[in-house]
Every structure is written in C-alpha cells, then in structure tokens.
Amino acid sequence: MAEPYTILKVMGPYREPRESALSFDYSVQRPNWATPQGVRVKIALEEELDLLKTKILQISGGTLGQQLRINQLLGRAIADCKLEIANEEMLFNDRRDVMLEPFTGSWSHLFPRLEAWMHQKRDSLRQDIQEKVGL
C-alpha cells in the first residue's frame, strides 16, 4: 500500500555523465520521518523521454530554446510519474537515499505502467506544452 509523501523540493534536470539519461533530485518527506529523504529519478533519453515526445505526443520542430523547455517539462512530468509508481511499489518506504533508475533493463517490469500513463496524459501534456512553450 502506498504511503503519503510530500515533495519539498525538486532540482534538475541534470544530464547524467556517461549515461544517456537526465535526472531530477527530489527532497521527499513522509509524515512519520523526522527529516526529508533524497530520491534521484533518472529518465532514459531514448526509451522514455523520446518515446513520449516523438512517438506519443508527436512533437517536432521549434527553436532550440523551445525544444529545451519541452524536454524540461516532459522530463519533470515523467519523473513525477516514476516517483509515484515507485511509491506504489514501496521502493522508498525506508528512510535512505534512493536512486530510481530508468524503467529499462532490470526495472523494465515497471515500464508498462509508465507507458500507460503517457498515453493517458497525452492530451493534457500537449495542452501544457502549447500554453507554456507555444508549440
């Protein structure tokens, strides 16, 4: 059963060195913890971000600045979803720093839930991009 948590701060995206991934650092607090916990969420550029951007949302074109902003918006949305999935799977119930890898390889059993979310949120993500980026 998923436990409630509060996101106190999110920093990122950061480009992961020697990996084709972006990451976001979350500071997460649960009601029964005395101090917040750090959770790093990694997003695979090709398998997660590009899948959402090019295949599901079918976004193309725009200036470099617009593309950067789109990647930031979509990356954060994916990271938030992955954090929620991890909470439902009880992957950060204990108080310790946690690294959530891309949902590929040994984590691929979680990918269908992420992909289902992508299809479910397609229209709202498109509208968000239209409003914030103008593309």
**Interval 70-90: pLDDT, tens:** 999 999 999 999 999 999 998
Which residues in the chain show pLDDT less than 50? none
Which H/E stretch holds residue 85? helix 64-88
CB contact at 8 A, 88 and 105: no
Q: Tell me, what amino acid is at 114?
A: L
Model pLDDT, residue 4: 92
What is the predicted pLDDT for the residue at 1? 67
The per-residue pLDDT for 18 is 93
Owner of token pair 């590929």: 104
Tell me whether the omega of the peptide bond preceding residue 112 falls within 30 degrees of 0, making it cis: no
The amino acid sitting at 29 is Q
Sign, CA dihedral 10-14-18-19, equals: positive
- Paired tokens of 22: 């972006």
Average pLDDT of the chain is 93
Predicted TM-score (pTM) of this structure: 0.94
